[in-house]
Structure 1
Amino acid sequence: MSNFIPLINVRSVYNFQESLIKINDYISFAKKEGFEYLFYCENKTMYGVAEFYKKASKENIKPIIGLSIELESGKIITLISKNQKGYKDICFISSELNDETKLNDDQTLELIKSRVNHNCFLITNLEKSKDYFNDAEVLNTNQIKLFFNTIRYISDNEQQHYRGVFALKNGINIKEAENLYKIDESYPYADDILEVFPDTLKVTELIKSKVELDIFENNEKHMAKFSAPYNMPSFSYLKQKCLAGLKHYLTKIKNQPVTSEYLDRLNTELSVIEKTGFADYFLIVHDYVSFAKKNDIIVGPGRGSAASSLVSFLLRITTIDPIEYNLLFERFLNPERITMPDIDIDFQDNRRDEVIEYLFEKYGRYNVATIVTYQTIGFKSAFRDACRIYEVDLDKVNLITKSLTDDYLDFDEIIKTQKLIREYSEKPEFKDIFNLTEKLIGCPRQTGTHAAGIIISDVDLRTVLPIRQGLNGIYQTQFDMNYLEEIGLIKMDLLGLRNLTTIKEIMDLIKQNYKKDLSLSKIDIHDAKTFEILRQGNTTGIFQLESQGMTNLIIDMKVNSINDISAASSLYRPGPQEMIPEYIHNKNRRKVSLVDRSLADILLPTYGVIVYQEQVMQILQLVGNFSLGKADIVRRAMGKKQIEYMMQVKDEFINNAIANNYSKEKATAIWNWIEKFAKYGFNKSHAIAYSYIGYWLAWFKAHYTAEFYTALLNGVMGNQSKTSKYIKEVKQFGIQVIKPSVKYMNSNYISSENRIYMPLTLIKGIWKEFTTTLNKLYNEHEDLFEDLNKFFYYMKNKGLNESNYNLLAKAGSFDCFGYNKSTMVANRDFIFSAMTAFNENISLDKQTKIENLFEEQLNEEVESNYEKEVFGFYISANPITKLKNENAYFKPIDIIKLIGNMNEVNIIGQISGIRVIKDKNKNNMAFVTVFDDTESIDLTVFASNFDNLQYDLVANKNYILKIKTQTYKNRITGILETIVKPI
């Protein structure tokens, strides 16, 4: 017999901070001991059930699934599912126990009694349990009390580590935990159990013999059913809508008759959808997209391979005509490799929740759920937690962890590569801390919510998997996304995209300022002014195009179409970047050499370079006579380097090509060529769709510049560097930027008559409540801003204090009263004395007036200091400009004028950020961001230099720096040679 035997009441780390037992460790332990079966029972939750089942099965260990319920009285009920029906029952019970309504013991017992029957074992230390739970197979275990001694760690030498977890859970230190936690909850030896409780193994073997359950055995799909009008079958309704959509699109939009090209494509797609049973899926997506559009919520033009579907286009799920852009349906739904459809939809991010609420209301509270995620503890978090309970000084903790930029999950790697941490790990007083840290790494700390995934089921989700109460009253799965499809649940991704919110805000501003209702579908996609600003490199704020490297590529490519934008975003990635020079060279000289002239129609649109996955598929079809479905399978295999399959299919391709009048040499050359680029190719449908978002933003920037920047600025509130950059840029367009003023009372940027008004809330320490107060006062007193006297009279006891007064004065928010910033700052005490003297029972005209302020001169230096203090950046007077003039001897070059491969030039600027990392030799080096009055640049400080400079480099200080420039990924960066001098 093994040293151990399978026991029931084993807790895992999925009962957060109540166990040290990770599922991998549990199964490794069982495998080592030769267990044929293994129990898994969390307390009330079932978070780790699917993971446990998969991993145990893979190791040929029979997984036995249960649920333990610890009552308030301290008694325990453990339910073990014998079969699928019993499993559904415990899923239901766990779901109810994790609802927003907390059940007391009596309610919990009634819940169990109402659901549990002969499909479950019930093991409990409750008295008279057989009489109470008369439908379940109750195992009387009074003589096997050990079943209710919860196991929380495997080895008894882990008790001290568990005390650490106990301390974390209860917010106490390790000494207090040692006093409170005395019991042993390690995995007990078999001899010890059987000596005292000889029937233990007999009971567990009995349970094992009666359990026949595979939680993944049922392949039934639980897709919600779409309710079509007049009880029409879903597919019939889908076909009807698509035909009507096709007729409208071709005859009304394109002004042409319905052609066989479109009709044949539609019939092909519908045939696949009918065969696979996905009609309901398409109709449900169409329905919630329609809801969004009817409610003025901006929806993206398409995302992923769904944009290659004509059905998606005709249902207005996407807005890209796949035939116009030569997009392939098989890239989305492959009839030769049936997988679930995956239609991801982007919504403006500030209204995405409304769409989810709509689904919740339409399909029912137990049929819609978000998807759980688990926030895993990394080294940095684990170490800081361990130090906290061992009461290590926080300054020392910060010192030890300051070099860690990421929360690593590999403990051994950290110890090997981080010198300071390794040194502390060798100190005796830190031994327990590092041991606990290692145990905590990889444990889930708490649940989160998947950013996009939504489940919509045709049945009560509680009968399919355990769920829990989520945010806003919407339920959440207890299994993460990796296990949902296998139990028949289809994930739909509803994503929030900030750029769509920006577009909506721009359109609202245009409507407000110009009384124009614009439609994205009516925007001219061949607008010369739009492409001109892109070719000029004016890409700030343009989706996917605003990085320096992308900007340079856009300029070099001389973009003049949506296709050009799509190609740029597809090429500007690791791997395909090596093809950029060839692409630009071929495009600009309009001369292309092809591996074979027969490929001209496929390759000439991208100047002889394979840019897209769809091109690989088309070449496989044309040369090797593969169906597009098979071509997609081969493309995937090439990308994943499935060598065995590739060798087999290569012979087939060459033989087919020979039969298709290609020589063996040519066929082999074509195969080798496409194999090289298949792993680089990008999804064209996604690239085209996302290029529309970038183009729309560029169009707005070209035609409604003030509104464009207003929305852009609202989107970066709190981001000082981007705010500063955008404000600087907008002035170059001749648009006046008005500093925050109490008179405008705005908490967001607003625009009017080619001006942008900065919000009061941009001032550090001024909150939205203050602007709300101003608006309320103005509604009560229209003369609020008539003069200084009236303003401060009405503002008495209305949220204005000496602290926020100073901020408002330095920001120029009182300039509207005719006095400059310095004057308003200098007269603060006088103004507050006058406000104190105001008598609210006497009319304003009889009060002592605030007048004859002592006036101060405002100089440029004071102005810039005020701006930096209250905004965090400079608006009017950038002192770096002055520093450049004062240090002209050093011949500083404006950052914006730097080009690649300049040898030892000087720049003058301020350090805005320092990021320390390890180089390949595990030595410290850094990336330093420096800005001047024109632009910013990232500088590399190599380890050989960093040792000497690290203590002299300080954020928010000005320097003269000697650098060498370089071009990295089409972006100008630099290498810091030395600090000439701090200034």
Structure 2
Amino acid sequence: MQQQRDRFVEGCVGNGIEETEAANVFDLIVEFAGYGFPKAHSAAYAYITYQTAYLKANHRPEYLAALLTIEAGNHDKLSRYIAHVRESGLDVLPPDVNDSAQDFGVVGTAIRFGFAGIKNVGDGAVASILAARDEEGRYTSLFDFTRRVDARKVNRRVLEALVKCGAFDTLHDNRARVWASIEMAVERAASEQRDRAVGQESLFGGLPDAEWSDDPKLLELPAWPDRERLANEKELLGFYVSGHPLGEVAAELARYTDCTATTTEGRYGRDVRVGGLLTGLRETRTKRGKRMGFGTLEDLEGGFDLVIFSDPYNLHFDLLRAAESGGEFGEGPIPILVSGKLEESDPPKILVSEVMRLAEGEERLTVNLRLRLMASEAGCDSMEALRSVLESYPGDCEVFVHITIPGESETIVSVGGLRGVDSSEELKRDVDALFGRAVAERGL
């Protein structure tokens, strides 16, 4: 480029143009060349855009299966695209030794996970699995599988990956038993293959191959806990197949958050509150030696990158560590709520300002307490007793009392002289106990 610059500037000067002006013009040309397109290039991209839009609109399952195949090796992107597939109303079926192909494929109105998307399962292993299946038909058990595939390509590491992600679930419904039986299955298959290689009869006295279907029983073990099963799926596939650790708190997340990984459009530059599970927390030091952190928050639809500067990192350090590790007593994943400024990136980024446990959301985010009473419950003695209970929990939360006459009216009144309350679970329990039923509701 320097040679071209010299030629350009010399030519301009020879034509009576100031050297400085010529250099500035060349700089503009260089800048434009970094991302400049001729009309032909623009037209070609417009054509491709139309084609992909047409395919997505008219052949959605096939289009999305191809998209997942392209990103099979990138589990971060894969998990977000799978969330998009599910959001569009299509199911993503788990990998299966009998039904999966190399790539993601369409099965009815669903998409079957392809072998290429499973970590630790290489092309050679996939080729062996598919070749044996094409030659002799569907696999009937773990032992039948290990007997037929090439053990040099489908080694123990591949078998472990297939078991952990659920690829044998249609043959055996307890992954822990399959996992524990891998060594036995591998040794049995190796013994048979050695016998075949030297032309000897098997232990069963020369029975034909078909008789090898009399498989031993899998080792007896209880099923993996949900936490372990889901963690294995996430590790190998990049998403959860048989459930989600946040499934039980989905309603709470929807109530206390205003943004998810797939609803960030139009929210960039604004403060948001998101919720999910913290993974990959790592600490670093600023140029001034202060601690700060980075991490990933996974919600039901994808994830966010978290940037936690020194002040919020130090303030919430204990909670962040507990949320990542599963708590001091190993109680499992701790869902958290994270507030901060949303920035555009891939995946979306949040500059964290506040962190709290999801379980604390109702108490800490409540702005008013509403008490719903029947008119018959609002006598003088009851209201005096109510005032006494409320005054014993001072705070900033407003209190409104709804007094209802069935079929006639509802009156909303405030409690005179009461500045506010601490809307704790204890206060709610005491108020409900006062009236013998649930009357207190927290409002966000």
Settle same-fold status: TM greater than 0.5: yes
Where 1:706 maps in the other structure, the secondary structure is helix
The alignment covers a number of residue pairs equal to 316
Q: Does 1:850 align with 2:215?
A: yes
Q: Which residue of 1 aligns with 2:276?
A: 908
Q: Which residue of 1 aligns with 2:386?
A: none
Choose from 122, 145, 163 the match for 1:809.
163
> Which whole-Å deviations, capped at 9, do the CAs of 1:402-446 have from their partners, x for residues lacking one?
xxxxxxxxxxxxxxxxxxxxxxxxxxxxxxxxxxxxxxxxxxxxx
Choose from 121, 125, 128 the match for 1:773.
128
Unaligned 5+ residue runs, structure 1?
A: 1-480, 488-632, 642-677
Distance 1:944 1:696, change over 3 A: same
Q: Match of 2:355, as an amino acid? A: I
Judge conservation of contact 2:343–2:349 (CA < 8 Å) in 1. Answer: yes
Q: Which residue of 1 aligns with 2:115?
A: 760
Judge conservation of contact 1:834–1:848 (CA < 8 Å) in 2. Answer: no
Distance 1:915 1:751, change over 3 A: farther
Write the distance in 1 (CA, Å) between the matches of 2:150 and 2:82. 34
Q: Which residue of 2 aligns with 1:702?
A: 57
Judge conservation of contact 2:303–2:348 (CA < 8 Å) in 1. Answer: no
Write the distance in 2 (CA, Å) between the matches of 1:968 and 1:800. 42
Distance 1:977 1:767, change over 3 A: same
Distance 1:683 1:783, change over 3 A: closer
Q: Which residue of 1 aligns with 2:239?
A: 873
Choose from 350, 353, 357 the match for 1:977.
353
Question: How many angstroms does 1:822 deviate by?
Answer: 3.4
Q: Does 1:937 align with 2:304?
A: yes
Q: Match of 1:867, as an amino acid? A: E
Q: Does 1:715 align with 2:70?
A: yes
Q: Which residue of 2 aligns with 1:827?
A: 181
Judge conservation of contact 2:259–2:274 (CA < 8 Å) in 1. Answer: no
Q: Does 1:794 align with 2:137?
A: no
Judge conservation of contact 2:283–2:291 (CA < 8 Å) in 1. Answer: no
Once the two structures are superposed, the pairs formed by residues 369-448 of structure 1 within 5 Å of their partners are none
Once the two structures are superposed, the pairs formed by residues 480-559 of structure 1 within 5 Å of their partners are 483=3
Question: How many angstroms does 1:804 deviate by?
Answer: 2.7
Write the distance in 2 (CA, Å) between the matches of 1:754 and 1:904. 35
Distance 1:849 1:836, change over 3 A: farther
> Which whole-Å deviations, capped at 9, do the CAs of 1:374-400 have from their partners, x for residues lacking one?
xxxxxxxxxxxxxxxxxxxxxxxxxxx
Q: Match of 2:80, as an amino acid? A: K
Where 1:909 maps in the other structure, the secondary structure is strand
Where 1:817 maps in the other structure, the secondary structure is coil
Distance 1:763 1:972, change over 3 A: closer
Percent identity over paired residues: 19
Judge conservation of contact 2:142–2:178 (CA < 8 Å) in 1. Answer: no
Write the distance in 2 (CA, Å) between the matches of 1:917 and 1:694. 44
Where 1:734 maps in the other structure, the secondary structure is coil
Distance 1:688 1:744, change over 3 A: same
Q: Match of 1:937, as an amino acid? A: F
Question: How many angstroms does 1:855 deviate by?
Answer: 7.6
Q: Which residue of 2 aligns with 1:963?
A: 339
Choose from 725, 733, 740 the match for 2:88.
733
Q: Match of 1:743, as an amino acid? A: N
Where 1:910 maps in the other structure, the secondary structure is strand
Write the distance in 1 (CA, Å) between the matches of 2:148 and 2:272. 60
Judge conservation of contact 2:128–2:149 (CA < 8 Å) in 1. Answer: no
Structure with the higher fraction of residues in helix conformation = 1
Distance 1:945 1:863, change over 3 A: closer
Distance 1:861 1:485, change over 3 A: same
Question: How many angstroms does 1:734 deviate by?
Answer: 3.2
Distance 1:820 1:979, change over 3 A: same
Q: Match of 1:773, as an amino acid? A: S
Question: How many angstroms does 1:770 deviate by?
Answer: 0.8
Where 2:246 maps in the other structure, the secondary structure is helix
Where 2:67 maps in the other structure, the secondary structure is helix
Judge conservation of contact 1:796–1:835 (CA < 8 Å) in 2. Answer: no
Judge conservation of contact 2:277–2:297 (CA < 8 Å) in 1. Answer: yes
Distance 1:737 1:906, change over 3 A: closer
Where 2:89 maps in the other structure, the secondary structure is coil
Judge conservation of contact 1:761–1:767 (CA < 8 Å) in 2. Answer: yes
Write the distance in 2 (CA, Å) between the matches of 1:856 and 1:790. 23
Q: Does 1:864 align with 2:230?
A: yes
Q: Match of 2:176, as an amino acid? A: S
CA RMSD after TM alignment: 4.8
Distance 1:928 1:745, change over 3 A: closer
Q: Does 1:785 align with 2:139?
A: yes
Where 1:815 maps in the other structure, the secondary structure is coil
Write the distance in 1 (CA, Å) between the matches of 2:151 and 2:305. 48
Distance 1:736 1:876, change over 3 A: same
Write the distance in 1 (CA, Å) between the matches of 2:213 and 2:36. 73
Distance 1:694 1:893, change over 3 A: same
Distance 1:485 1:802, change over 3 A: same
Question: How many angstroms does 1:869 deviate by?
Answer: 3.2
Judge conservation of contact 1:939–1:976 (CA < 8 Å) in 2. Answer: yes
Write the distance in 2 (CA, Å) between the matches of 1:797 and 1:939. 43
Q: Which residue of 2 aligns with 1:591?
A: none
Once the two structures are superposed, the pairs formed by residues 332-351 of structure 1 within 5 Å of their partners are none
Write the distance in 2 (CA, Å) between the matches of 1:848 and 1:751. 31
Write the distance in 1 (CA, Å) between the matches of 2:283 and 2:65. 31
Question: How many angstroms does 1:716 deviate by?
Answer: 1.8
Question: How many angstroms does 1:806 deviate by?
Answer: 2.1
Question: How many angstroms does 1:765 deviate by?
Answer: 1.7
Choose from 86, 105, 114 the match for 1:750.
105
Judge conservation of contact 2:69–2:104 (CA < 8 Å) in 1. Answer: yes
Q: Match of 1:977, as an amino acid? A: S
Write the distance in 2 (CA, Å) between the matches of 1:924 and 1:692. 50
Q: TM-score, normalised to structure 2's length?
A: 0.55
Judge conservation of contact 1:784–1:794 (CA < 8 Å) in 2. Answer: no
Question: How many angstroms does 1:879 deviate by?
Answer: 0.8
Where 2:136 maps in the other structure, the secondary structure is coil
Write the distance in 1 (CA, Å) between the matches of 2:155 and 2:38. 58
Judge conservation of contact 1:894–1:934 (CA < 8 Å) in 2. Answer: no
Q: Match of 1:738, as an amino acid? A: L
Judge conservation of contact 1:728–1:875 (CA < 8 Å) in 2. Answer: no
Judge conservation of contact 1:713–1:749 (CA < 8 Å) in 2. Answer: yes
Distance 1:819 1:833, change over 3 A: farther
> Which whole-Å deviations, capped at 9, do the CAs of 1:57-103 have from their partners, x for residues lacking one?
xxxxxxxxxxxxxxxxxxxxxxxxxxxxxxxxxxxxxxxxxxxxxxx
Distance 1:706 1:889, change over 3 A: closer
Judge conservation of contact 1:777–1:794 (CA < 8 Å) in 2. Answer: yes
Distance 1:805 1:978, change over 3 A: same
Write the distance in 2 (CA, Å) between the matches of 1:745 and 1:972. 32
Where 1:879 maps in the other structure, the secondary structure is coil
Distance 1:791 1:748, change over 3 A: same
Q: Which residue of 1 aligns with 2:376?
A: none
Judge conservation of contact 2:275–2:297 (CA < 8 Å) in 1. Answer: no
Question: How many angstroms does 1:835 deviate by?
Answer: 3.2
Question: How many angstroms does 1:932 deviate by?
Answer: 0.8
Question: How many angstroms does 1:836 deviate by?
Answer: 5.1
Judge conservation of contact 1:912–1:931 (CA < 8 Å) in 2. Answer: no
Structure with the higher fraction of residues in strand conformation = 2
Distance 1:798 1:916, change over 3 A: closer
Q: Match of 1:964, as an amino acid? A: G
Once the two structures are superposed, the pairs formed by residues 212-223 of structure 1 within 5 Å of their partners are none
